[in-house]
Amino acid sequence: NETQAMEIIRDQDIGLILIAMDMEKRENFNLLSLIKMSPLAQKIPVIVVSPANLPGTKKKVYDIGAELFMEKITASPKKVVEAVQKLFEEACS
């Protein structure tokens, strides 16, 4: 749940957050919002993987502050790894 996730983020040295979105639960947007509003967590890159690109979902995810949105159907492990590498390269430059 959101509270547990935020406790882990607060207590651990987290370099990246991957949210596997469940379109039936709106709490994913709440968690993303909490992360991006938190002074401790807002700089942590977030990748959101969604089972589908429902109308408005991608825009909302980016509006909240996610660094990357991927559809599950096209998010192969290789593409996720490449996206993570790119985010870390950008963060280090």
Mean pLDDT of the chain: 88
**Cα–Cα distance measured from residue 61 to residue 8, given in angstroms and rounded to the nearest whole number:** 21
- Give the contacts of 2 (CB within 8 A, at least 6 positions apart): 27, 30, 31, 34
Using one digit for the tens of pLDDT, what is the confidence trace for 55-91?
A: 788 899 999 999 999 988 888 889 989 988 988 888 7
Q: What is the pTM of this model?
A: 0.85
Cβ neighbours, 10 Å, residue 9: 18
Query: Is pLDDT at 24 greater than 70 in this prediction?
Result: no
Structure token digits, residue 83: 């996206």
Domains present along the chain, CATH in parentheses: 2-92 (3.40.50.2300)
